Amino acid sequence: MTPRWLFADQLGPHFLDAPGQEALLVESKAVFRRRAFHRQKAHLILSALRHRAQDDGVRLVRAETYAEAITQEVTVCHPTSRAARGLVTRLPRVVEMLPPRGFVTTPADFTAWARGRDHLRMEDFYRDARQRHGLLMNGDEPAGGKWNLDHDNREPPPRNATTLDVPEPPAVVEDEIDEQVRADLDRWEREDGITFVGRDGPRLFPATRHEALVRLRHFVTHRLTPFGPYEDAMLAGDPWMSHSMLSAPLNLGLLDPLEVVERAEEAYREGKAPLASVEGFVRQIVGWRDFIWHLYWYFEPGYRASNELRARKELPRWFAELDADAVEARCLSDVLAGVRDRGWVHHIPRLMVLGNYAMQRGWRPGAMADWFHRSFVDGYEWVMTANVIGMSQFADHGRMSSKPYASGGAYINRMSDYCGGCRYDPKVRVGDDACPYTAGYWAFLARNEQALAGNHRMRQPLNGLRRLADVEALVEQEKARGSRAP
Ligand code: SF4
């Protein structure tokens, strides 16, 4: 059997054709020269690669570039970026590129579903995928009779709670490979001028299949039940809430998403987890994750430069460099500190705190996509393109979302405990106490009134804007704030 070249995000057994197949891994320093990644992300990737290289039949080649490393004939599974696919097709020693693995649905599934549709909506794709793969189905009907159990989920955090009080995910124990990775990264910073963002810290995410399986089992047993109701809630004292934190090992290819959703479904069938929680989790993986993956390839390469709302400001330094201490707004400061210290916050801080703030201020969507890609342990180009350009920044003018995810402080106030301890007031839009999210929301609507006028889901907010007496003051206030940290 021809040896398989495995990229650093293809580390699980499902990227091989048989258990003993010879495999080749490449550790390229050039990757880290091109972008300033989060230090903990660089650590995780190198640790995962080097741990995988300990397995029988797997060889790790250290080289500046992939071209230098691939000196024997290899096969490879379809990689996860356009640049990597271009490279694979140019390298003469790659004898075959196999279809992509590591997702539940195939490109053919997606194309069959998408053909002829004007608007691509995750909900429709997700239902189609569940039917095709028989996931959470009772015959032709969705388990429980409904496709979407969101109304049972999306609860605010429990009143007066400072944490969700669910068992913590099992800690990762670092070993001598991690020690070596840390020493190498220190040296690269010192001697090779390679830079990172964020703080170093103990490795928090799985780097081996064993660690990933331990986390999966623990999540399904202890955290899946509260995941559903609290998947959108935020608490300053509980960064993980009941999230699975499996996105990093999934995106490293350590877990097969099908095994992950099958475990969750099994828990439901055995009466160990409620349907609403299991459905919410399956939706995140078979719905969002697969949908975003296919959109990366389905949309034209120029999609990443989409900028329908003409947002042209560059990211301010305090944001780009994760300077949480420069920020007084409690929600943004805490979330930025989470990115700085862990390289991870869950989907609502990403969307409603970070992305919402950037969209309100007119920051360039491509710069935000790149920032998310570099700063998050689970960030890859395919993950962040549609998620940030389309969903978070509404820069594609509705090709994948029906309205912008813009909201004022009221949403953050309802879904978190941030506002109580904040120097701003979520109900105030003008003046010293004005919440930057509330003020920013109205200023965003005022700036984009024309561009959003044809969107029927924006009719009500735009009518609200027209009733405000202080729009001019709001807009001036936002101009005066400029790119200063709030
Ligand atoms: Fe965030 Fe505004 Fe609430 Fe402060 S008042 S925590 S800035 S939403």
DSSP state of 14: G
Each residue's pLDDT tens digit, 378-419: 999 999 999 999 989 999 988 888 889 999 999 999 999 999
4-98 and 107-172+194-200+207-298 share one fold: no
Which one, of 240, 224, 232, 350, lies nearest residue 281 by Cα?
A: 224
Question: What are the residues facing 23 on neighbouring strands?
Answer: 4, 58
Q: What is the pLDDT of residue 67?
A: 85
pLDDT at position 31 is 87
Q: Which of 331, 334, 351, 481 to mutate to test the pocket of ligand 1 (most atoms within 8 A of CB)?
A: 331
**Per-residue model confidence (pLDDT) at position 358:** 97
Q: What is the pLDDT of residue 402?
A: 86
Q: Exposed, middle or buried by CB within 10 Å (0-12, 13-18, 19+), for 85?
A: middle
pLDDT, tens only, 82-94: 999 999 999 999 9
- Closest-lying ligand 1 atom to the alpha carbon of residue 330: 6
Residue list, ligand 1 pocket, CB within 6 Å:
329-331, 409, 412-413, 418-419, 422, 424-426, 435-437
Average confidence score pLDDT of the chain: 94
Ligand 1 centroid from CA 327, angstroms: 11
From the CA of 355, how far away is ligand 1's center (Å)? 15
What are φ and ψ of residue 226, in 5° steps? -75, -10
What integer pLDDT is reported at residue 231 of this predicted model?
A: 93
Check residue 18 and give its pLDDT: 92
Give ∠ CA 261-263-269 in degrees, rounded to 5. 105
Paired tokens of 92: 């003469």
Say if residue 219's pLDDT is above 90: yes
pLDDT at 395: 94
Q: How far apart are alpha carbons 127 and 283 in whole angstroms?
A: 9
| DSSP reduced 3-state for 255 | coil
- Which pLDDT value is given to residue 30? 86
- pLDDT cut 90: percent of the chain above it: 85
Which one is the CATH code of 301-481: 2.60.40.1220, 1.10.579.10, 3.40.50.11270, 3.40.50.970?
1.10.579.10
What is the domain partition of the chain in residue ranges?
Answer: 4-98, 107-172+194-200+207-298, 301-481
Q: Which of 321, 33, 47 is nearest to 183 (CA)?
A: 47
Work out the end-to-end distance of the chain between its first and last CA atoms, rounded to an integer number of angstroms: 58
pLDDT of residue 151: 81
Backbone region of residue 136 per phi and psi (left: phi > 0; alpha: psi in -120 to 50; beta: other values): left
Pick the closest to residue 211 from 180, 181, 248, 257 (CA basis). 248
Please tell me whether residue 352 adopts helix, strand or coil conformation.
Answer: helix
Distance CA 244, CA 474 (A): 40
The verdict on ipTM greater than 0.90 is yes
- State CA 359 to chain mean position distance: 17
Q: DSSP labels for 189-237?
A: HHHS----BS---S--S--SHHHHHHHHHHIIIIIHHHHHHHTT---TT
Tell me what pLDDT residue 15 has: 97
**What is the spatial distance between Cα 450 and Cα 48, in angstroms, rounded to a whole number?**
48
pLDDT for 353 equals 97
**Residues 6 or more apart from 199 whose CB is under 8 A from it?**
39, 40, 340, 341
Cα 472 to ligand 1 centre (Å): 22
158 Cβ contact list (under 8 Å, min separation 6): 164
Confidence category of residue 423, pLDDT binned at 50, 70, 90? very high
In this structure, the residue with its CA closest to atom 6 of ligand 1 is 419
**Residue 11 pLDDT > 90, yes or no?**
yes
Helix or strand or coil: residue 142?
Answer: strand
Q: Whose CA is closest to 58, among 19, 17, 101, 25? A: 25
- Contact call for residues 436 and 422 (beta carbons, < 8 A): no
DSSP-assigned beta bridge partners for residue 62? 27
- Residue 135 C-alpha to ligand 1 middle, in angstroms? 39
Total Cβ atoms within 10 A of residue 118: 5
Give residue 295's pLDDT.
93
Question: Which pLDDT score is estimated for 303?
Answer: 92
For a mutational test of ligand 1's pocket, the pick from 418, 425, 430, i.e. the residue with the most ligand atoms closer than 8 A to its C-beta, is 418
How far away, in angstroms, is 360 Cα from ligand 1 center?
A: 14
Does residue 334 surpass a pLDDT of 90?
yes
Q: For residue range 20-52, what is the model confidence (pLDDT) as tens digits?
A: 899 999 999 888 998 899 999 999 999 999 999
Distance 118 CA to ligand 1 centre (A): 37
Q: According to the model, what pLDDT value does residue 327 have?
A: 97
Q: Which whole number is the average pLDDT over 332-347?
A: 97
Q: Is the per-residue pLDDT at 65 higher than 90?
A: no
Q: Who's near 352: CB < 8 A, 6+ residues apart?
A: 405, 407, 411, 412, 415
User: 121-126: which pairs have CB atoms within 8 A and are 24 or more residues apart?
Assistant: 121/400, 121/402, 122/287, 122/288, 122/291, 122/400, 123/147, 123/148, 123/287, 125/287, 125/290, 125/291, 125/294, 126/283, 126/286, 126/287, 126/291
Q: What percent of the chain has pLDDT over 70?
A: 100
360 torsion bin: left (phi>0), alpha (psi -120 to 50), beta (else): alpha
Per-residue pLDDT tens over the stretch 425-452: 999 999 999 999 999 999 999 999 999 9
Question: What is the pTM for the complete model shown?
Answer: 0.95
**Quick one: tokens of 32?**
């880290």
Q: How far apart are alpha carbons 477 and 210 in whole angstroms?
A: 53
Q: How far apart are CA 284 and CA 160, in angstroms?
A: 28
| Residue having the nearest C-alpha atom to atom 3 of ligand 1 | 419
- Shortest CA distance to 23 belongs to which of 93, 76, 100? 76
Fold designation for 107-172+194-200+207-298: 1.25.40
259 CB-near residues (< 8 Å, 6+ apart): 216
Cα dist from 287 to 44, 127, 135, 254, 353, whole Å: 26, 8, 11, 19, 23
Reduced to 3 states (helix: H, G, I; strand: E, B; else coil), residue 6 is strand
Residues 473, 471: Cα–Cα separation, whole Å: 5
Please give the CATH topology (third level) of the domain spanning 4-98.
Rossmann fold (3.40.50)
Residue identifier of the C-alpha nearest atom 7 of ligand 1:
329
Nearest Cα to 254, choosing from 48, 74, 28? 48
CB atoms within 10 A of CB 404: 27
Give pLDDT tens digits for 284-325. 999 999 999 999 999 888 999 999 999 999 999 999 999 999
Cα 332 to ligand 1 centre (Å): 8
